[in-house]
A and B are shown apart, each in its own frame.
Chain A
């Protein structure tokens, strides 16, 4: 059974760096084809893909936020970490991590999400 869970601060101040951790079980990020992505959703708004890391440590980012994002993995801990620098109130959103379907960049298992509010 695949599960994912996001953890991190619920409140960050403008200009601070956000660090979110996705802890997963039921699969290995060292298995060929596997990937974990981060997707966010501002309150009442649509989904926005942020970043994706593959089993071979290939990393991809949404172009508009690439300069602010870093995604890493710790295979031994079954964790993926997303950092986002220079946080702004417009970054207030629920942040999800999700398991990528092997062979297609769609997400079939999602964490419950964590709401991050950016406010001074």
Chain B
């Protein structure tokens, strides 16, 4: 299995500031034939199911605000929230689907307001 490791485990950011969450895969999730990174990000608020934010490492799901962006390639990826809002408090997960269908998730990063 591809192991996904997120950092940090928790993060506190002031409202309006930038939040950055990292995700590292144990092997590359870049598929050379189509030059796509098989990496997604989810947001999970308390008591709710996860919500898909980004896939193909940088493609925002329909309806996701543009303050959420994804970047990176190969084994190292970043989710950035450009200007933190109170409603962004959640746990964020990365997920690889390179080894489809044996997909794996990161351990999660808890984002709070400072």
Q: Which residue numbers of A lie inside 8 Å of B, CB to CB?
A: 46-49, 52, 60, 62-63, 96, 98, 101, 104-108, 110-113
Q: Which residue numbers of B lie inside 8 Å of A, CB to CB?
A: 1, 38, 40, 42, 48-52, 55-56, 61, 93, 95, 97, 100-108
Instruction: Please give the distance in Å from B47's CB to the nearest CB on chain A.
Output: 9
Complex formed: what's the CA distance from A110 to B49 in Å? 6
Contacts of B105 in A (CB 8 A): 46-49
Question: Across the two chains, which residue of chain A brings its CB closest to B108?
Answer: A46
Interface pair A52/B93, CB less than 8 Å apart: no
Q: In the complex where A47-B93, A106-B55, A111-B49 touch, is A63 in contact with B108 (Cβ < 8 A)?
A: no
Contacts of B52 in A (CB 8 A): 101, 106-108
Complex formed: what's the CA distance from A63 to B101 in Å? 10
Candidates B48, B95, B102, B108; contact of A106 at CB < 8 Å: B95
Question: Across the two chains, which residue of chain B brings its CB closest to A104?
Answer: B55
Instruction: Please give the distance in Å from A14's CB to the nearest CB on chain B.
Output: 26
Question: Across the two chains, which residue of chain B brings its CB closest to A111?
Answer: B49
